[in-house]
């Protein structure tokens, strides 16, 4: 398995795994119970350059490729999905900037992000616009050298802890522009901008330490220099961002599944019923075998997707959708089975698998539901290519 990874990738993965096992795993249950954002984990990841992974070396980052980033997200999520998401969102939020930002804009924000001095969030979803991004209502109105943003965003990971937020707003509400996907523009809104607030947090089933915020914009004035990409290019930028961020969620899902598999395997070799470890009972052994097979299949699809996307595959959107779709479903199935293997002990907080099962569910929902991923794959299949 490790042969497909370079020596650097193996070394980086192992280093992150060691950090995760020794420093993050002991915190995971508490992070879930208190629902408090783990700033100590942010500092740990920043101190060891993990947060620098997604960014170019020219801006203080490590210039890690997509697979290396995913290896890190996977290893952290193996012990704590909330902590794994810290890295995933750190990439998601900055990807529009990396894809379409000017050198000045990158100089302005990327070094602080790479150093972990500041977090970033990505705001597209609204209360009435989830899967249907054409229903977005947050408006951006031109006002001389600046823009006025009015509206609200919902379900924004890290919305309340980020120093800057990539906000996708409607710059052209004309139905023709909406139909042509030229209605959106991307702006980076800085924390503390008058009229911008991130007050309300959601109470969630899983990833409970990760703050999911509602953002409100009341006449927030944003200079044009904070606009990333061309006016009307927002939709395209959002979609290209997902091509690079969905593998991160797939990595989180693979990590969660791997973590649950490891707990279940250990338990099945120690727990005795009918005079022997329950793993020796064929029905339990078969469950473990299926869990391991599914997890490895999801991992291999993810790694292949990363290589394809990094190589500029014309089917990048489809690869991203497929790996997130498959890994999310695997994480849900494997964690559910892990609870089953542990029986009553799996259902209580004494063991981590109930938390992993709750955490797994989000991977089927965010960055596009599983239904949207299928839509993307199907559309790609049915698109005629020259």
Partner 1 sequence: MHIVVLLKAVPVVGTERLDGASRTGRGQLESNGNDEYLLEKALKLTEAHGGEVSLLTVGPAPALEALRKALAMGATRAYHVKDDAIVGSDIRATVAILEGAIRKLTFDLLFVGADTSDGQGGVVAPALAVRLGMPYLSYASEIEPAPDGSRVTVHRLSPTGYDVLEAKTPALVMGTQVLGEPRYPSLRGIMQARSKETVVWSLGDLGVEAGNVGEGAATTRVLSAAAPPQRSGATIVKDAPDAAVQQVVDFLAARRLI
Residue 99 CB, shortest distance to partner 1, in Å, is 23
- If phi > 0 it is left, if psi is from -120 to 50 it is alpha, else beta; for residue 245 that is alpha
Q: Nearest approach, Cβ of 8 to partner 1 (angstroms)? A: 6
Instruction: Determine how β-strand 164-170 pairs with β-strand 120-123.
Output: parallel
Sequence-separated (6 or more) residues with CB below 8 Å from residue 180: none
Of 13 and 324, which CB lies nearer to partner 1 in the complex structure?
13
Which CB, 47 or 224, lies closer to partner 1? 47
Q: Minimum Å distance from CB 15 to partner 1? A: 6
Cβ proximity to partner 1: between 51 and 317 the closer is 51
Kindly list the residues in this chain that would bind partner 1 in the complex (CB under 8 A): 7-8, 11-12, 15-16, 18-19, 23, 47-50, 52-53, 62, 64
* Residues labelled catalytic: 367
| CA–CA dist 116, 18 (Å, integer) | 20
Shortest reach from residue 327's CB to partner 1, in Å: 24
Residue listed under structure tokens 């109930």: 354
Cβ proximity to partner 1: between 18 and 132 the closer is 18
How far are the Cα atoms of 19, 167, 248, 309, 374 from residue 258, in angstroms, in the given order?
Answer: 17, 34, 15, 23, 24
Give the bridge partners for 221, in sequence order: 148
Helix/strand/coil for 348: coil
Which residues sit opposite 350 in a β-bridge?
none
Closer to partner 1 by Cβ: residue 16 or 165: 16
CA-to-CA distance for 212 and 27, rounded, in angstroms?
20
**CB-count exposure of residue 174 (10 Å: 0-12, 13-18, 19+):** exposed
Give the nearest distance from C-beta 115 to partner 1 in angstroms.
Answer: 11
The residues near 155 (Cβ < 8 Å, ≥ 6 apart) are: 125, 130, 202, 212, 214, 366
């Amino acid at each position: 398995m490790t042969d497909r990874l370079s020596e650097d990738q193996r070394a980086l993965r192992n280093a992150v795994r060691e950090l995760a096992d020794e420093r993050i795993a002991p915190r995971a249950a508490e992070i879930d119970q208190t629902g408090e954002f783990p700033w100590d984990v942010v500092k740990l990841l920043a101190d060891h350059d993990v947060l620098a992974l997604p960014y170019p070396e020219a801006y203080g980052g490590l210039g890690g490729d997509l697979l290396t980033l995913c290896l890190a997200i996977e290893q952290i999520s193996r012990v704590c999905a909330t902590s794994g998401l810290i890295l995933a969102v750190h990439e998601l939020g900055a990807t529009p900037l990396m894809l379409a930002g000017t050198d000045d804009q990158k100089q302005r924000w990327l070094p602080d992000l790479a150093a972990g001095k500041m977090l970033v969030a990505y705001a597209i979803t609204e209360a009435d616009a989830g899967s249907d991004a054409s229903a977005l209502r947050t408006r951006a109105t031109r006002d001389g050298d600046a823009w006025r943003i009015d509206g609200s965003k919902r379900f924004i990971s890290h919305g309340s802890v980020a120093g800057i937020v990539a906000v996708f707003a409607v710059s052209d509400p004309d139905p023709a522009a909406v139909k042509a996907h030229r209605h959106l523009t991307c702006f980076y809104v800085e924390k503390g901008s008058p009229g911008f607030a991130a007050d309300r947090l959601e109470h969630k089933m899983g990833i409970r330490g990760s703050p999911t915020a509602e953002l409100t914009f009341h006449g927030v004035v944003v200079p044009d220099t904070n606009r990333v990409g061309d006016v009307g290019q927002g939709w395209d930028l959002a979609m290209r961002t997902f091509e690079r961020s969905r593998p991160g969620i797939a990595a989180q899902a693979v990590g969660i599944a791997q973590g649950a598999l490891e707990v279940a395997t250990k338990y099945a070799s120690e727990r005795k019923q009918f005079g022997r470890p329950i793993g020796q009972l064929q029905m339990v052994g078969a469950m473990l075998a299926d869990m391991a097979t599914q997890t490895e299949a999801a991992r291999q699809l993810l790694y292949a997707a990363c290589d394809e996307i990094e190589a500029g595959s014309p089917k990048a959107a489809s690869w991203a959708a497929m790996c997130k779709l498959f890994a999310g479903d695997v994480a849900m199935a494997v964690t559910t089975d892990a609870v089953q293997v542990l029986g009553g002990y799996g259902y209580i907080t004494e063991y981590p698998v109930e938390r992993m099962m709750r955490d797994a569910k989000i991977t089927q929902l965010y960055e596009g539901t599983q239904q949207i991923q299928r839509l993307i794959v199907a559309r790609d299949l049915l698109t005629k290519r020259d």
